[in-house]
Amino acid sequence: MSDDLTDDEISLLCAIGEANPLELTADKKRDLERLISGGYAEPAESRPGSTFRLTAKAIEFLGKRGAGLNEA
């Protein structure tokens, strides 16, 4: 996977990073599978409120594009 993520995939990464609950439609499920296979997200068994977490690759990707996460 190249760093050519769609706006929807980037939005999904931001939602995962902010630990927002994900309502997975068929399209979001496909995007999530693509993000996982590309090394941008992974299952997060120990993270309350979210079943997925960002990888270092995703955090770096978002940082380079100025897509900040709400670090509450």
Provide the whole-model pTM. 0.78
Helix-helix angle 56-64:7-17, to 10 degrees: 120
Alpha carbons within 13 A on the beta-carbon side of 35: 33
Residue spans per domain, the chain: 7-64
pLDDT one-digit tens code per residue, 41-69: 998 876 555 688 999 999 999 988 775 55
pLDDT one-digit tens code per residue, 2-23: 468 999 999 999 888 887 767 8
Residues 6+ apart with CB under 8 A from 16: 22, 41, 50, 52, 53, 54, 58
